[in-house]
Amino acid sequence: MGLFDKWKKTTNVYADDVIVAVADGEMISPENISDMTFAKELMGQTIGFQITNGKIVSPANGKIEVLFPSKHAFAVRMKNGTGLLVHIGIDTVSLNGKGFHSYVKQGDEVHANDPIIEVDLEAVHKAGLETTTMLVVTEPVNKEERISFIDYGKVNRGQIITK
């Protein structure tokens, strides 16, 4: 090992069919999400994250199909056609982008674990809003099948959460 090897940036390579945790924190079931649209999975199969910091990454390899102007949500189209929505916080659209910084734009190709949004959790809390972040499978390739996720509990950003 050379003197500077530890400073080299390493990039994790993820398979095109995996989904990773979008943030550090606790992965929770939809029933534990306070917003009924997500709790009842009205937009699609949903999992939640009680996030511990504001670094939000891409859940998969694909393309940023939608990046809301308020930066509180974005959609990724996986290479296999699956549509994923990441919604940061509850009612955070009302912040009109305040406290949100985007590292990508609509149309960008992304890889799982690439930084997408940084959110100021303190600003969200000061506004009286929750930072629970949802990952929704809005358009599964196979409509009859639910994606198998790992058990709920502590996760690290970039950790593979599909079985």
Check 87, 101, 111, 125 and give the catalytic one: 87
Instruction: From 64, 85, 79, 91, select the one nearest 136 (Cα to Cα).
Output: 85
Q: Residue 133 pairs with which residues in a beta bridge?
A: 49, 88
CB atoms < 10 A from the CB of 112, how many? Answer: 24
Instruction: Indicate the residue type of 25.
Output: G
List the structure tokens of 3. Answer: 């003197």
User: 84 with 75: CB under 8 angstroms?
Assistant: yes
* Number of neighbouring beta carbons within 10 Å of residue 116: 23
111 is catalytic: no
Contact 135, 85 (CB under 8 A): yes
Residue 7 backbone phi and psi in degrees, to 5: -90, -15
Helix, strand, coil percent content, the chain, rounded in steps of 5: 10, 35, 50
Question: Which residues are catalytic, by number?
Answer: 87
